Structure 1
Amino acid sequence: MKISYLLAILPLVSAYPGHGTGSTVSAHWKPAGSNDFRGPCPMMNTLANHGFLPHDGKNITRETLVKGLHDALNFNASLSSLMFDMGVVANPETNATYFTLDQLNRHNVLEHDASLSRADDFFGSNHIFNETVFDESRAYWTAETLTPAMLANSKIARQINSKAFNPQYKFTSKTEQFSLGEIAAPIIAFGNSTSGEVNRTLVEYFFMNERLPIELGWKKSEDGIALDDILRVTQMISKAASLITPSALSKNHVRMEL
């Protein structure tokens, strides 16, 4: 199991089975103030804006993260605990027992180039929502219901753009695992993790406002979200991101081997 997917889920509707029939979460929302920390992950920022994590973005402990992810999204405790283990590496202190959203901004630790909604670190801020970048990404979302292929297309496009214009572009195999998890996150949180589909309006609302789409009718899943759900969706995105299509020869070769 690729645990490096997990933290990325921390970077959406009644039309989808298993979502829209769950519990209503807190509608309270308050944007970050001038003294509050925020990071490159839209979901972590969103949970802080709603108060599921400390609103100031500081002192995020294991207990705080486990409770926040459960109350907001119904993530199970073991999954949330694994996420904490990955997130705490952003704190440079030895044997740290907490991290802050600001620490997640450290370039190429967990944050990386080619984000769907942030500019690369080379161009300035790597953690503030960038509408121009996001418009580039959602140009590939060509229907009201997003599919793994659409989300994968936006991922590939952002990588090409970053590689072409950022002279310090860096995207390692580890980064790829985080990136796949980030692309899968809206499906897992707001859509259908079996089909890999999610309502585009909810995803756009989430990214642009760093706010759970409660007022659009979304409710958290009644079923607890576990590691298997994450792996299933990230594998969908990974498969959809391939630019190689099966050939007739390869299909015939498979039949012959069978």
Structure 2
Amino acid sequence: MRLIFLPVTLSIALAAAIEPLDSHPWQAPGPNDFRGPCPMLNTLSNHQFLPHDGRNITKDKVISAMGSALNFNESLAALMFQMAIVANPSKNATFFTLEQLQVHGVLEHDASLSRSDAFFGNNYVFNESIFNETKLYWTGETLDANMLANSKVARQISSKAFNPNYTFTPTVESFSLGEVSAPIIAFGDMQAATVRRDLVEYFFENERFPTELGWSTRTEVVNIDAILRLSEIIGNASSLITSSEAVVSTRRRDLHAGIY
């Protein structure tokens, strides 16, 4: 009997951890506050789910912030912390700062959707020109996996063409797929792999949750399986190779039409 009711009890407990966004009003960072290249971590700090000064971000604070604001389960939030703590160069570090995430080649990487490459200077402040380049490929009011993937690939091509130090390893690719999936995870329909364009633009441009546009924290808990599924969808959509079946079908159609 306990096994039957455990998932329900767990869901209720996790749902209760969600904090009303009204209790976390947005506040712009001050001159002595740290911010980094990740718009979501910056947003969590701007809303004071994480320390507003961007310092002393511990595992417990990440778990609390991501659970409260985004309804991430504890294991997923803990994984996010483990990925970020490597940015702190101190041995056996138990916290990181948003400033430490600015170091190129640790977590920050080339071909960001909203930041300039480190080679060209500032790699952590929102760059309107870069983001305008990204938005060229967002061709509908609702973004799908193809639009997001197209903007990712286009930014890589642009970076590779103009940045002589362009670097994009398999590890970076894994990070990038998760990052491109993030707007769907935070603001969209995870089953359909779609998200409203206006919500995503508002988030990137303001580093603020788009509550003014009607968004609220999702009620279903987000786990690692959802991240992996959406990353795979974005990865598949990023491929420039079509299936052999599609090629054969096209040739058969053309033969029938007398083209060959």
Counterpart of 2:108? 111
Residue 195 of structure 1 deviates from its aligned partner by 0.9
Between the aligned partners of 1:230 and 1:249, the Cα distance in structure 2 is: 28
Deviations 1:53-106 (A, max 9, x none): 000000000000000001111111111111111110000000000000000011
Deviations 1:181-231 (A, max 9, x none): 110000000001111000000000000000000111101111111001101
Between the aligned partners of 2:57 and 2:182, the Cα distance in structure 1 is: 20
Counterpart of 2:194? 197
Counterpart of 1:155? 152
Tell me which amino acid in the other structure corresponds to 1:67. Answer: S
Between the aligned partners of 1:109 and 1:251, the Cα distance in structure 2 is: 43
- Residue from 61, 66, 69 that aligns with 1:72: 69
Contact 1:23 / 1:219 at 8 angstroms: preserved in 2?
no
Contact 1:23 / 1:221 at 8 angstroms: preserved in 2?
no
Residue 119 of structure 1 deviates from its aligned partner by 0.2
Q: What stretches of structure 1 of length at least 5 have no aligned partner?
A: 1-21, 253-258
Tell me which amino acid in the other structure corresponds to 2:86. Answer: V
Tell me which amino acid in the other structure corresponds to 2:193. Answer: G
- Residue from 21, 41, 56 that aligns with 1:25: 21
Question: What does residue range 146-225 of structure 1 map to in structure 2 within 5 Å?
Answer: 146-225=143-222
Q: What stretches of structure 2 of length at least 5 have no aligned partner?
A: 1-17, 250-260
TM-score using structure 2 length: 0.86
Counterpart of 2:8? none
Aligned residue pairs total 231
3-state SS of paired residue (1:90): coil
Tell me which amino acid in the other structure corresponds to 1:179. Answer: S
Q: Which runs of 4+ in 1 moved over 4 A?
A: 249-252
Tell me which amino acid in the other structure corresponds to 2:172. Answer: T
Q: Which has the larger radius of gyration?
A: 2
Counterpart of 1:241? 238
Tell me which amino acid in the other structure corresponds to 1:198. Answer: V
Contact 1:23 / 1:222 at 8 angstroms: preserved in 2?
no
Tell me which amino acid in the other structure corresponds to 2:21. Answer: V
1:138 aligns with 2:138: no
Between the aligned partners of 1:31 and 1:96, the Cα distance in structure 2 is: 28
Instruction: State, as a whole percentage, how many aligned pairs show the same letter.
Output: 58
Between the aligned partners of 1:211 and 1:83, the Cα distance in structure 2 is: 20
3-state SS of paired residue (2:86): helix
Contact 2:19 / 2:69 at 8 angstroms: preserved in 1?
no
Counterpart of 1:101? 98
Between the aligned partners of 1:198 and 1:42, the Cα distance in structure 2 is: 17
**Quick one: structure 1 residues 208 and 249, their matched pair in 2 at CA, closer, same or farther if it must change by over 3 Å?**
closer
CA RMSD of aligned residues (A): 1.4
1:125 aligns with 2:115: no
Counterpart of 1:62? 59
